[in-house]
Structure 1
Amino acid sequence: MKIAILKETAAGERRVAGTPETVKKFKALGAELVVETGAGAASSIADQAYVDAGATVVGRADAIKGADILLGVQGPDPVSLDGVKTGAWIVAGLNPFGERARVDAYAGLGVDALAMEFMPRITRAQSMDILSSQSNLSGYKAVLDAAGAYDRAFPMMMTAAGTVSAARVFVMGVGVAGLQAIATARRLGAQVSATDVRSATREQIESLGAKAIFVDDVKGIEGEGSGGYATEMSDEYKAAQAALVSSHIAKQDIVITTALIPGRPAPRLISDAQIASMRSGSVIVDLAVEQGGNVEGAVAGEIVERHGVKIVGHKNVPSRIAADASALFSRNLFNFLSAFWDKDAGRPNLPDEDEITKAIRLTHQGKVVNERLLSA
């Protein structure tokens, strides 16, 4: 069983899908590990560290040749997979809806493409969930990015020259990223409030010491979709939420938006008029900017200014903390493969009827087989 850890080729991608820690763990299962030259360099992992862990460091062609499993952070370009073994597994974040042509190309190559972001939100798959592990770091980094762009202090400070007021931070969307953003902003001493369309998050917000901002006069709308994700809301709820947010956002110094709906463009949460209501020098960080953005005027990969408000739209935020993001991502991959490891066969085995298999397998035996893709 040959497992290859590939070097990422996407622009700005600094993470790597395997670390010396996971190399050792795979070796303990009996696998042969090869790492593409320079794969971990952007995550501060030298090639020698992989060698010391028991892997062989080789060029891309040699890494791919004969590999049974190819590990990546983002899906490798099919053109770069010359010589890939028929039936090999590609295990990575594959952006299936955004890169459907690439998925079709994987089918044409005869490989099994396994999309880790399609991992179901079930108890036994929690340790395999790349969305949660990477979103956690995104929420943390969003607050640090906001602090860097904000030209005032976060905590209240009592000084001989007078008092500095605490920054007011508003988090919109209380999933994994939002909860971490709340916790981080609180640790930095900010006054924090948060909102979400899912009523169940109120208790989570308050448990972190933040103020919950919710629409209470529109009944019967919970906003809870399958797997704990948010769903699209009714027009009635949207109108009520917009009115509430407009009155609250005008008083905030920093806003962090994290709202995403799987397989659909990010919902618009902040309008240009709402931005204009904020005081000059305020900061908005849009973590959904790559999926269309929660904020009107946000630009992917840029920090723009509108009405004196900075709108931060960094791409691939987890990659901005590459070392820790790589460590968590690679553990997710190991936890997944090791959970299905057949000791007698010396390799992982994915039962066709297992709910994890059905959720993440995009291609098999030359065909696209994933129901979510086929029904999209």
Structure 2
Amino acid sequence: MKLFVPREVDAAETRVSLLPADAGKLVRLGAEVEVERGLGDSIHIPDRAYEKAGAEVSGDRAASLAEADVVLRISAPGDQDLLNLAEGCVHISYVDPFKNLELIRKFTDGRVSGISLEMIPRTTIAQKMDVLSSQANLAVETGGNVEASELGKEIDRNGVTIIGRPELERMVPVPASQMLSSNLYNLVEHFWHNESKSFRLDRDDEIMQGCLVTHEGQIVNEAVRAAVACAPNTET
């Protein structure tokens, strides 16, 4: 089974989704791991580190996406990447499914099995793969988890400095990448079938029930399906 990890296209994204150590663990599980050239550039990890871990380095993003059984990444895919995904591909990333309803529709149109990292249940057994815990966005998109915080600003209230900078995890990309890469490895390992050497979508597993959003052309997550049904001018 081929797992492909593309580079992030967002210039502001400093994290790396899979580090060589975890790529090596996936190889030892029996996966064929391929990473896009320059995957680790943002934190100065050379391609040869991935090759040393047993992964292949690809210089053809489109071809690698088309051949992948599983795609691992941070950001949701753009339109061109979506077009390159093969039918039946498992795509694992942040999805923000309740805001990206059009992306959900495109997943179903392409018969892509979309796994949303945000939707992994907050349970004890899933803690090892819980990206919301390891990548906690301290300022968050709306300005922070303190009432007085303001998005993108550092303010003083009664002698207390409140930092409302969004996406703080991108300011510490090495430890953030280490945690995120470990989360992704643990997710794959949890659903890895040793005999067939493949990633299995076990829909009887409560973790998969929570994070699998689309499968075989259908929206299979009830909450997301309800959101799509209620959205104006959105086809399901």
The 5-angstrom pairing of residues 144-223 of structure 1 reads none
Q: In 2, are the aligned partners of 1:61 and 1:82 still within 8 Å (CA)? A: no
Instruction: Specify the alignment match of 2:153 in structure 1.
Output: 303
Flag structure 2 segments of 5+ consecutive residues without an equivalent: 228-236
1:20 Cα deviation (Å)?
Answer: 0.4
Instruction: Specify the alignment match of 2:46 in structure 1.
Output: 46
The 5-angstrom pairing of residues 257-272 of structure 1 reads none
1:127 Cα deviation (Å)?
Answer: 0.7
Residues of 2 paired with 1:373 and 1:18: CA distance?
Answer: 27
Q: In 2, are the aligned partners of 1:4 and 1:64 still within 8 Å (CA)? A: yes
The letter for the 1-side match of 2:92 is: V
Q: In 2, are the aligned partners of 1:116 and 1:130 still within 8 Å (CA)? A: yes
1:131 Cα deviation (Å)?
Answer: 1.0
Q: In 2, are the aligned partners of 1:8 and 1:76 still within 8 Å (CA)? A: no
Per-residue deviation, residues 53-89 of structure 1 (Å, max 9, x unmatched): 1111113113212100100112221332332111111
Residues of 1 paired with 2:147 and 2:105: CA distance?
Answer: 32
Post-superposition, which runs of at least 4 consecutive aligned residues in structure 1 deviate over 4 A? 304-311
Instruction: Specify the alignment match of 1:145 in structure 2.
Output: none
1:362 Cα deviation (Å)?
Answer: 0.6
SS in 2 for 1:123: coil
The letter for the 2-side match of 1:298 is: E
Q: In 1, are the aligned partners of 2:19 and 2:40 still within 8 Å (CA)? A: yes
The 5-angstrom pairing of residues 212-251 of structure 1 reads none
Instruction: Specify the alignment match of 1:4 in structure 2.
Output: 4
SS in 1 for 2:83: coil
The letter for the 1-side match of 2:226 is: S
Residues of 1 paired with 2:12 and 2:84: CA distance?
Answer: 26
The letter for the 2-side match of 1:33 is: V
Matched, 1:341 2:192: yes
Instruction: Specify the alignment match of 2:108 in structure 1.
Output: 107
1:368 Cα deviation (Å)?
Answer: 1.7
- How many residue pairs get aligned? The number is 224
Q: Which has the larger radius of gyration?
A: 1
1:310 Cα deviation (Å)?
Answer: 5.8
Q: In 1, are the aligned partners of 2:74 and 2:94 still within 8 Å (CA)? A: yes
Instruction: Specify the alignment match of 2:84 in structure 1.
Output: 83
1:297 Cα deviation (Å)?
Answer: 6.6
Instruction: Specify the alignment match of 1:324 in structure 2.
Output: 175
Q: In 1, are the aligned partners of 2:139 and 2:165 still within 8 Å (CA)? A: no
Q: In 1, are the aligned partners of 2:47 and 2:57 still within 8 Å (CA)? A: yes
1:50 Cα deviation (Å)?
Answer: 0.9
Matched, 1:127 2:163: no
1:289–1:332 CA distance, 2 compared to 1 (3 A): closer
Instruction: Specify the alignment match of 1:63 in structure 2.
Output: 64
SS in 2 for 1:325: helix
1:313 Cα deviation (Å)?
Answer: 2.5
Per-residue deviation, residues 16-62 of structure 1 (Å, max 9, x unmatched): 21110111101101111111111111122111211111111113113
Instruction: Specify the alignment match of 2:18 in structure 1.
Output: 18
Residues of 2 paired with 1:337 and 1:93: CA distance?
Answer: 15
1:110 Cα deviation (Å)?
Answer: 1.3
Moved more, 60-69 or 311-320: 311-320
The letter for the 1-side match of 2:163 is: V
1:291–1:358 CA distance, 2 compared to 1 (3 A): farther
Per-residue deviation, residues 297-339 of structure 1 (Å, max 9, x unmatched): 712xx33557798653322211211111111111111111111
Instruction: Specify the alignment match of 2:205 in structure 1.
Output: 354
Flag structure 1 segments of 5+ consecutive residues without an equivalent: 139-286
TM-score normalised by structure 2 residue count: 0.86
Q: In 1, are the aligned partners of 2:23 and 2:50 still within 8 Å (CA)? A: yes
Residues of 2 paired with 1:348 and 1:75: CA distance?
Answer: 20
Instruction: Specify the alignment match of 1:369 in structure 2.
Output: 220
SS in 2 for 1:374: helix
Instruction: Specify the alignment match of 1:210 in structure 2.
Output: none
Instruction: Specify the alignment match of 1:201 in structure 2.
Output: none
Q: In 2, are the aligned partners of 1:2 and 1:31 still within 8 Å (CA)? A: yes
TM-score normalised by structure 1 residue count: 0.56
Residues of 1 paired with 2:79 and 2:108: CA distance?
Answer: 10
Instruction: Specify the alignment match of 1:144 in structure 2.
Output: none
The letter for the 2-side match of 1:90 is: H
Q: In 1, are the aligned partners of 2:120 and 2:126 still within 8 Å (CA)? A: yes
